[in-house]
Structure 1
Amino acid sequence: MYSSKKDYTGQDLFIGIDTHARQWKITIRTRNTILRTLSINPKPKDLLTFLHNQYPGAHYSSVYEAGFCGFWIHRQLLDYGIHNIVVNAADVPVMHKEKDRKDDKIDSSKLARELSKDNLIAIYVPAEQQQQLRSLCRVRFKIMQNMTRVRNRIKSHLYFNGIDMPSRSETNHWSARFIAWLESIEFSHQPGKDCLELYIEELKEHRARLLKITRLLRHYAQQAHLSPIFELLYSVPGVGFVTAVTFITEIMDIARFQTFDQLASFVGLVPSTSSSDEKKTEKGITKRRNCYLRHLIVESAWVAIRKDPVLLAKYDNLCRYMKKQEAIIRIAKKLLSRIRCVWLNRQPYVIGVD
């Protein structure tokens, strides 16, 4: 008897998923033909049910762009037997008309097309515990940003009301003595005093949260048996707990970078270049970076040149023909290379060795 039921046994289907909170736009295709584009509920289980009902027996491969939805979708799709990858949106090849007429349908179709051509490179997906530890570390970074904003508001409020700040050495670290001085300031009218007190109260709240998060990070780092890696990174001049925990939570597995250039590109210590024929133009350091790591490695480089004579000699030599800010970027890249060697070889840093 003739059966109208479709059979896709052995066929490869590629699914591009444009994720949103309310619904997903998905495109299903073979290597040569788009089969269907539709909207579904934003649940991996619903996608699996639809595929089994409409395209039974096929081998399913899917892709979505990293973003607000994290990696829980990826993990569930893998559990359901769908080969999924997560990609950086900036790495997806795009045609001009797809930029000019962008919508969810085009985005999902583009992902499915490039997946079928094997043009997409999957990003690293950390384990759940690693991901949550990284999120906690990033909260610390956000609190530091909030503290900086509050400090700037306090300084602006004082300047606006004609109150002189102490010397820069007093305001660099905002010590308890400096906070006490702020609290002792008198204004001609009470609203000005109230405004300052509210700013100081907010600053103290951020400081308390910062202390709590730092303690939590130390606790969870010990639970995750990361102490050996911390000890290795501590041997690097300029690397303390904050830098070490940020590197560990952002990188997770140093071996995933097969070359140093890949690590430097991830951190953002590579030049942005434009070349055509024999003409090559360098536009300075790339704008694409890990925003949590690049500034830390540069700060560490400033400390390292004061502790390692070899790095200091290299820095002094670079300063002969470039600006100090450019020279320290070169030192930061060299320091990053040494961090990679320390981490990979499980050997502590040796000061004074070129």
Structure 2
Amino acid sequence: MPVAAHRSEAPTAIRTDLGAIFVSLELSQSKWLITSLSPGGGEKMSKHAVAAGDVDGMLGRFAELKRKARARTGRCFPIIVVQEAGLDGFWIHRVLEAEGIESHVVDPASIATSRRRRAKTDRIDGEALVRALLAYQRGEPRVCAMVRVPTPEEEDRRRLSRERQALTNERVRHVNRIKGLLFSQGVSGYEPLRRDRRVRLEECKTGDGRMLPAHLKAQIGRELDRLELLLEQIKAVEAARDAMLAATQAVSPAPAMLLTLKGIGPEFTAVLWSEGLSRHFDNRRQVAAYAGLAPTPWQSGSVDHDQGVSKSGNPRLRTTMIQMAWLWVRHQPHAALTLWFRDRVKQNGGRLKKTAIVALARKLLVALWKYVNAGVVIEGAVIKAA
């Protein structure tokens, strides 16, 4: 075949024959950049900006795109929209679906980019999103990872465990600040979380035998005020968490099943259920990958080694599972998973415990998933007494 004929029959760089208008949204706090590729418009992508939060302007732009595509081709095309998961959450996705528009939310870290130093602008990112959406609609494997958008109820259910974590972190900061202020005066052994913290503060003396200075005592008193407020808020959140778990048992027995295992309490149960096990997974690999506990191999020629876990999944679920793995070894000493962990550590001469505990966390998460979904009993696990 002649070279000229071969070139004339070569496919275009971007296929636009999929029967839809492809749109990407590049969202920021000041504006939304709408990048689109329409049938009959060639390979050039159009760009239009609206003010951030201007839903009517966005929908008006979509109507204009449909009108122009129909004028060019005589056909009416649906709109397919993609946006990155980010600070805006999922409310824009829900608005689009309510309008009957097909919408996707993509994990931005899953889109392949050049490893060279590259320019980055909203216009370039918008075009890259459209190209990723085109490849995804064509069915190309591993071109990007679309996020499964939770329902409003599922999203709201996760608030309790996340708020408790934030309050607990803030409590630690206040406790450390109080201890640091006292330690600078030679006072050690003071515990701000004790119920008699106010009385003990009055009894504190500096390292050189003086009573605490007035302004320092006043500052610590205000820190204790904030600390006591935090303790009350943590109690309220825990009460709401327990009520949520009790209400969930009427829909699914999974939370109650988790609570029966020794070493798993209400907080671990709430995090496991709301962050991971309430979702649908097809196999154990998906479970481990969602928690970011899947291994990451590196193979090139004769080089073949493991880079560790991917850490690309849900960070709260991953952190909770590693904490739970340590407690599982303590509270479930005769379980098969604990025996496997101890045997692995023994083979390494007592070293690499942290690496082995991550592997145990992955195995434990898969075992819990099988337990709550298929009733597969974890071998050797101890059930709490009624």
Shared fold (TM-score, shorter chain, > 0.5):
yes
Are residues 301 and 115 of structure 1, via their aligned partners in 2, closer, same or farther at CA, if it must alter by over 3 Å?
same
Counterpart mapping for 1:111-126 below 5 A: 111-118=129-136, 119-126=143-150
2:23 and 2:307 map into 1 onto residues whose CA distance is 37
Are residues 198 and 277 of structure 1, via their aligned partners in 2, closer, same or farther at CA, if it must alter by over 3 Å?
same
1:260 and 1:175 map into 2 onto residues whose CA distance is 44
1:169-226 superposed Cα distances (whole Å, 9 cap, x missing partner):
xx6x944356753564244411121222222222111111111111112223434435
Instruction: Say if 2:374 is the partner of 1:345.
Output: yes
Q: Is the 8 A contact 2:19 2:77 kept in 1?
A: yes
Per the TM alignment, residue 272 of structure 1 is displaced from its structure 2 partner at its CA by 4.1
Number of residue equivalences:
339
Are residues 264 and 252 of structure 1, via their aligned partners in 2, closer, same or farther at CA, if it must alter by over 3 Å?
closer
1:161 and 1:150 map into 2 onto residues whose CA distance is 17
Counterpart mapping for 1:97-112 below 5 A: 100-112=118-130
Counterpart mapping for 1:189-208 below 5 A: 189-208=213-232
1:202 and 1:132 map into 2 onto residues whose CA distance is 26
Q: Which has the higher contact order (CA 8 A, sep 6+)?
A: 1
The alignment's C-alpha RMSD in Å is 2.7
Per the TM alignment, residue 39 of structure 1 is displaced from its structure 2 partner at its CA by 0.4
2:199 and 2:341 map into 1 onto residues whose CA distance is 40
Per the TM alignment, residue 349 of structure 1 is displaced from its structure 2 partner at its CA by 4.6
Structure-2 residue corresponding to 1:19: 27
Instruction: Say if 2:265 is the partner of 1:240.
Output: yes
Specify the code of the residue in structure 2 equivalent to 1:265.
A
1:83 and 1:159 map into 2 onto residues whose CA distance is 60
1:231 and 1:352 map into 2 onto residues whose CA distance is 16
The equivalent position to 1:48 in structure 2, one of 50, 56, 59, is 59
Counterpart mapping for 1:157-172 below 5 A: 157-165=181-189
**Where does structure 2 lack aligned partners over 5 or more consecutive residues?**
1-15, 68-75, 137-142, 206-210
Q: Is the 8 A contact 1:235 1:348 kept in 2?
A: no
| TM-score between both structures, scaled by the size of structure 2 | 0.79
Q: Is the 8 A contact 1:9 1:58 kept in 2?
A: no
Q: Is the 8 A contact 2:107 2:144 kept in 1?
A: no
Are residues 346 and 76 of structure 1, via their aligned partners in 2, closer, same or farther at CA, if it must alter by over 3 Å?
farther
1:21 and 1:314 map into 2 onto residues whose CA distance is 50
2:17 and 2:131 map into 1 onto residues whose CA distance is 21
Counterpart mapping for 1:286-297 below 5 A: 286-297=310-321
**Where does structure 1 lack aligned partners over 5 or more consecutive residues?**
1-7
Structure-1 residue corresponding to 2:7: none
Structure-2 residue corresponding to 1:85: 104
Q: Is the 8 A contact 2:295 2:307 kept in 1?
A: yes
Per the TM alignment, residue 159 of structure 1 is displaced from its structure 2 partner at its CA by 2.0
Secondary structure in structure 2 of the residue aligned to 1:26? strand
Q: Is the 8 A contact 2:33 2:122 kept in 1?
A: yes
1:90 and 1:65 map into 2 onto residues whose CA distance is 9
Specify the code of the residue in structure 1 equivalent to 2:234.
L
1:241 and 1:140 map into 2 onto residues whose CA distance is 12
Counterpart mapping for 1:217-296 below 5 A: 217-224=241-248, 225-226=250-251, 228-251=253-276, 253-255=278-280, 257-296=281-320
Sequence identity, in percent?
22
2:312 and 2:105 map into 1 onto residues whose CA distance is 18
1:238 and 1:124 map into 2 onto residues whose CA distance is 31
Q: Is the 8 A contact 1:25 1:104 kept in 2?
A: yes
Structure-2 residue corresponding to 1:329: 358
Please say which of residues 280-289 and 262-271 is displaced more in the overlay. Answer: 280-289
Structure-1 residue corresponding to 2:139: none
